Structure 1
Amino acid sequence: KPVELVIIDEAGGATKQVSEYRNLVERSEVDYVIGYISSGDCLAVAPAAEELKKFTVLFDCGTPRVFEEASYKYVFRTGAHGAMDNIGAALYINEKIPGIKSYAGINQNYAWGQDCWADWDASMKALNPNIQVTTSQMPKLGAGQYGAEISALLNSNSEVIHSSLWGGDLESFILQAGPRDLFKKSVAVFIAGEHVMNRMSAQMPDGAVIGARGTHGPFAPDTELNRWFKKIYSDKYLLQPIYAAYKMAQALLGVKSAYEKAQAANGGKEPNQDQLIAALENHSWEGPSGKVMMNLGKGHQATQGIAFGRVKKVNGKVTLVDIKNYPAEKVNPPEGVKSVDWIKSGFKAK
């Protein structure tokens, strides 16, 4: 049947988003809610969804805390959480820069940035117990100006700089750090850097390590589904889809797949909310980025593999080389184990 979209802007902070969510459920009377990029928003909206008993899918936010510190019936996340990004980045750096002795970080001072630094830091120490942390810079979300932080990073003389900055913050940091030759002194690791890679091709530093929060964008498999998705997206927007677009497509296709599964189990009749929830729990499906498995958080949290590559300029265009893929089980904790505990155990199976 036709689907009516009710779209709101995710801006204004967590308190505003909870208010907007309540309006969607109580005034607009939507059937499902799919959304949220900010980890802070996800942490705030998830309890509201549970209170209002509304089927809700978090499509992008990264903090592992959503399902590692709480349990939900009505809330799902169809993208892997951020521990995967940082574990994968640590594995990649230790493979590509053997004998690395030091690293620093610049991450936003809220749930996403804090969790990313904690998981990266723990992963690097688990892989290399003698490594040195030189400095951890934590500017506020949306700071925009990074002069003091860049000075601290320059003075640290770190071999590697880890960063989970994204959006305008990441663009501003690259624009300000490049002219000061920070990237000539240190290898930058932008775990979510794929979405600015092409639009900032002139400023992207050679040799920087780039992630896409999974096997999205340039890391996506060459499948019929991915080719279809890239075509319809580029035809409409005249751009190639970035990881956030892949993750929204993944969420929509996951709900569609679960709906069809529940409908089939219901004799072809429209499933109710409880039947849809049961169908999505522990479900798996194929997205443009490959297989998605809802196998953490009691079947409410997805896992996927991840890939990283390094920037190489070719005729003025950004390409990725030294691409390495890591399977889901290599970069995600077992069910029932917190990410940081799994990392500190040396990535041991449960």
Structure 2
Amino acid sequence: MGIKTRILTTTATLAASAALCLPAAADEVKIGVVTFLSGGAAGPFGVPARNAAELVIEAINDGSLPAPYNSAGLAGDTIAPIYVDENSKQKNADFQKLVEKDGVELVLGYISSSSCKAIAPEAEKLKKLTVLFDCGTPQIFEEIVTEPKYTFRTAATATMDNVAAARYLMDTGATSDRVAGINQNYAWGQDSWRDFSASMAQLASKAEIVTEQYPKVYAGQYGSEISAILTKRPDVVHSSFWGGDMEAFVIQGSARGVFERSKVVLTAGETAMHSLAKQIPDGTIIGARGPHGDLAPDSALNDWFRAAYEAKFGSLPTYPSYKMAQALLGVKSAADKAGASSQDAIIAALAGLEWEGPSGKVSMALAGGHQAIQDTAYGTFKLTEDGKGSLVDIIRYDATCVNPPEGKISIEWINAGFDGASCN
């Protein structure tokens, strides 16, 4: 062997040895992210959720999240998001495209309960891991997909919101003899009112339902419903309106004195408490569908999330943003625990998982480990002297106080007197 040949051989050997010492190149994990990017729900809900996805995915990919999420990627693999507009008349077809043409490893999304009702069976049919990050109807796992394998929801259901709302009224001593409801006429609004009115029947035996109003979703004008409420003179008005509908009701209802004459409970009101701060009357009870936004607990992760979001987008994150971050961190926790980013690995690790988000602990405790529960909180709106929205008289409720135990149907649990609930 000549000198030149030996040099080439030695060089090749050293290069091969060096290659063996290098870490394997990260793979790319495609994730379909579905949220409202157009229409009336985009501004208050869809865009803040998409913004949070962009922020958290970037931080996951470069490993810049606070511990314990400061390792890069999903088990080292880079997330490649594909954003899809939920405001579509062909939601199932959009889902099928993500799965069959785009080749995503998982789909993460959906705000509207009607979207989730359509997508959950499709996810099971196409055998594609799907993480619902927001939609609240309890029907998903109690009626529609009762033995889920591929479908998960990393946020609590509307049952939590409405049991906690009823408890907050009792705990703050609000007069609640006459109760009215104005809720959207589809699964979310119907389930929310069902659980709230049933909870009031358990907690306030003298409470009388004086009117139930069900305008269609995205109606935008509520003159006749407001007139009906004013005529009945309720002590309490309950509304699970969200997005533009909730904002319209605040403006129209406050102009006609609804908020002055009654204690109004907005279970999803947090998204407007800053943007409509000067239009929400003091004394309005505000929920955030969990301990999100101004109701989130103090933590290094929450501090990072609020500061990073405001720096990037020029506004504070609201609960759709928190819930998107919560879902992505759940997926990362599962992948890191499994040591792999494949669908099967994430499914196995996510079932029954617990992790910490910017809103505190999340536990996949229901539906065989596919449905999350968490603590929640309510507060009372108060405009500060400098014209900003704030919450006072905040009360927190343990997850086991306001969510049914495993194996229990929500409304049956409420009607049985919250059997097994653990409240501090």
Using the size of structure 1 for normalisation, the TM-score is: 0.96
Any conservation in 1 of the 2:180–2:236 contact (CA below 8 Å)?
yes
* Superposed CA offset, 1:258-297 (max 9, x none): 001111xxxxxx3532222110000000000000000001
Which residue, 346, 352, 377 being the options, matches 1:307?
377
* Superposed CA offset, 1:28-70 (max 9, x none): 1111100000001001100000111111100000001111122
2:300 matched to 1:224?
A: yes
Q: How is 1:140-159 mapped onto 2 (pairs within 5 angstroms)? A: 140-159=216-235
* Unaligned stretches of 5+ residues in structure 2: 1-76
* Superposed CA offset, 1:78-99 (max 9, x none): 0111100000000001121355
SS of the residue 1:3 aligns to: strand
SS of the residue 2:82 aligns to: coil
Q: What amino acid does structure 2 have at the position aligned with 1:338?
A: I
The equivalent of 1:325 in structure 2 is 396
In 2, Cα distance between equivalents of 1:271 and 1:241? 28
* Superposed CA offset, 1:95-116 (max 9, x none): 2135521110100000100000
In 1, Cα distance between equivalents of 2:160 and 2:113? 15
In 2, Cα distance between equivalents of 1:34 and 1:273? 13
2:143 matched to 1:37?
A: no
How many angstroms does 1:317 deviate by?
2.1
In 1, Cα distance between equivalents of 2:257 and 2:331? 46
Higher gyration radius (CA): 2
How many angstroms does 1:128 deviate by?
1.7
In 1, Cα distance between equivalents of 2:151 and 2:405? 20
The equivalent of 2:20 in structure 1 is none
Q: What amino acid does structure 1 have at the position aligned with 2:356?
A: E
Q: What amino acid does structure 2 have at the position aligned with 1:115?
A: D
How many angstroms does 1:176 deviate by?
1.0
In 2, Cα distance between equivalents of 1:245 and 1:42? 18
How many angstroms does 1:2 deviate by?
2.2
The equivalent of 1:28 in structure 2 is 102
Shift of the 12–271 alpha-carbon distance from structure 1 to 2, 3 Å rule, reads closer
- Count the aligned residue pairs: 342
Q: What amino acid does structure 1 have at the position aligned with 2:275?
A: R
2:121 matched to 1:47?
A: yes
The equivalent of 1:349 in structure 2 is 420
Any conservation in 1 of the 2:106–2:343 contact (CA below 8 Å)?
no
Q: How is 1:176-187 mapped onto 2 (pairs within 5 angstroms)? A: 176-187=252-263
How many angstroms does 1:131 deviate by?
1.1
2:279 matched to 1:203?
A: yes
In 2, Cα distance between equivalents of 1:272 and 1:326? 36
Shift of the 186–98 alpha-carbon distance from structure 1 to 2, 3 Å rule, reads closer
The equivalent of 2:325 in structure 1 is 249
2:165 matched to 1:94?
A: no
The equivalent of 1:175 in structure 2 is 251
Any conservation in 1 of the 2:155–2:323 contact (CA below 8 Å)?
yes
How many angstroms does 1:12 deviate by?
3.0
The equivalent of 2:206 in structure 1 is 130
SS of the residue 1:148 aligns to: helix
Shift of the 75–37 alpha-carbon distance from structure 1 to 2, 3 Å rule, reads same
Which residue, 281, 286, 289 being the options, matches 1:213?
289
The equivalent of 1:266 in structure 2 is none
Q: What amino acid does structure 1 have at the position aligned with 2:209?
A: V
2:175 matched to 1:104?
A: no
SS of the residue 2:215 aligns to: coil
Q: What amino acid does structure 2 have at the position aligned with 1:59?
A: F
In 1, Cα distance between equivalents of 2:113 and 2:310? 28
Any conservation in 1 of the 2:105–2:342 contact (CA below 8 Å)?
no
In 1, Cα distance between equivalents of 2:194 and 2:239? 12
Which residue, 19, 23, 40 being the options, matches 2:93?
19
Shift of the 79–176 alpha-carbon distance from structure 1 to 2, 3 Å rule, reads same
The equivalent of 1:290 in structure 2 is 360
Query: Which sits farther off after the overlay, 296-305 or 316-325?
Result: 316-325
